[in-house]
Amino acid sequence: MKNHILLFSFLALFLAPNISIAQEEEKVTVKISGHIWAESIFDTRQTVNAREGDVLLFPAKKLLDKNGEDINAKASFNMLNIHSRARLKITAPTFLNAKVSGLIEGDFVGSANDKIGLFRLRHAMVKLNWAKSELLAGQYWHPMFTTDVYPQVASWGAALPYFPLERSAQLRYSYGATENSKLSITASTQLDFKSTGPNGPSTEYIRNAAVPEFNLTYVLGLKSNFLIGANVGYKTLKPQLSYTVNALTYKSEESIGSYHLNLFSKIKMDNAAIRLGAIYGQNLYDFVMLGGYGVSGTNANGESEYTNFKTGSYWLDVDSGLIGEKITLGLYAGYTKNYGADNPITGAVYARGTDIDFSYRISPRIIYGIGNVRFRCEVAYDTAAYGTPDANYKVQNTNNVSNIRFLFATTLHF
């Protein structure tokens, strides 16, 4: 018995330091970061926008008064701090032999125009990382917002409406056969970035479809100077649960499915980088882009049938730090096109920009930074071609309307 006690005592003395070290290595750590963002914006005319004019989409179309004067040909100015942000990055003890990390992030943009200035959730997710695979669960960038390649513009809105912007609740599994490639499959729903329908923008349409949106993404060249990738996705919406015919209410059977495709690439050259992409898809409303869907007829039971609007978008972004380490120059160019509906529209329309044939933006920028402080200047020239849609909502007899936005922002990163 004494021998057993001595043995256990010896093992305890030997293992105690190692247990203490293991516990110390496995503790939870939290890192606080974020930025304070103060910006001023000036537009030469009224715009289609969000968040007190801060998130720019298009120049507003001409609105003539009784004297033929354009009411929307009026400049606008604003100063905002709503993009100030705080984030917590968390690491935790290993789980199922995976490295565990998490992210919680929020800002003051609000979840809608009438909630601007209120703190809102941006990201809240946990990641499990193994040697060649990763599992992500929570709210994070939608797969269409490709974090490996996106425009480096100074203004907020991620170059909307030419580049998709959406964060979504999701479950994403990624596998990398090599360090240079990654394949991901994602199931997601909606929260702040919603599809629209008979009851306006809402998450109810994808919730009532009872099927998440699915996306497949492949990226090649993660560790090289040339990266190329693609994302393809499909979502299903159920616009209504019931419909009425001759004052009688029936259970709805109709839904609508839509696809989207995103091709993207990045080329690095010394201190410069070129990023570019092309997007084509149906019903891109939830990405804050042109598009949506509409009623194309009725089925044998008298219920509305639906058809998608098709949208194309093409963009290029170049930046360079060749003028010293403190100055970065950049140029962004984007173009989006309304390709109309799959079938003629006969009823209600649930879409954005249905009277716009195309729109484009050219925006040079300069960023000057010392330490944690940055000065950001950007000039964005936007043109939208407004006209009259035909039965398939292809826009004709267009008239171009332009706006110039001047932006200056001061940022402190911590």
Q: How far apart are CA 19 and CA 14, in angstroms?
A: 9
- Joined tokens for residue 8: 């256990």
Q: How far apart are CA 174 and CA 180, in angstroms?
A: 13
Q: How far apart are CA 279 and CA 288, in angstroms?
A: 13
What's the first-to-final CA gap in the chain, in angstroms?
60
Closest CA to 42 of 83, 81, 78, 80: 78
> Which of 15-19, 339-343, 388-392 is predicted with the least confidence, judged by mean pLDDT?
15-19
> Which of 44-48, 91-95, 110-114 is predicted with the least confidence, judged by mean pLDDT?
110-114
Handedness of CA 360, 378, 37, 81 (dihedral sign): negative
Q: How far apart are CA 57 and CA 55, in angstroms?
A: 7
Q: How far apart are CA 206 and CA 233, in angstroms?
A: 14
Closest CA to 200 of 261, 112, 318: 112
| pLDDT for the residue 270 | 86
Query: CB count, 10 Å around CB of 308?
Result: 23
Question: What mean pLDDT do residues 147-169 have?
Answer: 95
| pLDDT for the residue 271 | 87
Q: How far apart are CA 235 and CA 308, in angstroms?
A: 12
- Joined tokens for residue 198: 């008979």
For residue 58, pLDDT beyond 50: yes
| pLDDT for the residue 9 | 44
Query: Quick one: pLDDT band at residue 245, thresholds 50, 70, 90?
Result: very high
| pLDDT for the residue 333 | 98
Question: What mean pLDDT do residues 95-99 have?
Answer: 97
| pLDDT for the residue 323 | 62
CATH assignment of 27-413? 2.40.160.10
SS3 label, residue 408: strand
Query: Quick one: pLDDT band at residue 220, thresholds 50, 70, 90?
Result: very high
Tracing tokens 């003028």 back to the chain, one arrives at 323
Q: How far apart are CA 210 and CA 193, in angstroms?
A: 18
| pLDDT for the residue 368 | 94
Domain positions in the chain are: 27-413
For residue 8, pLDDT beyond 50: no
| pLDDT for the residue 371 | 87
Q: Among the residues of 174-221, which ranges form H helices?
A: 204-209
> Which of 8-12, 24-28, 324-328, 402-406 is predicted with the least confidence, judged by mean pLDDT?
8-12
Q: What percent of the chain has pLDDT over 90?
A: 88
SS3 label, residue 406: strand
Question: What mean pLDDT do residues 365-381 have?
Answer: 95
Q: How far apart are CA 292 and CA 286, in angstroms?
A: 8
For residue 100, pLDDT beyond 90: yes
Question: What mean pLDDT do residues 163-189 have?
Answer: 97
Q: How far apart are CA 87 and CA 105, in angstroms?
A: 4
Average pLDDT, the chain: 93
For residue 240, pLDDT beyond 50: yes
Question: What mean pLDDT do residues 357-374 have?
Answer: 95
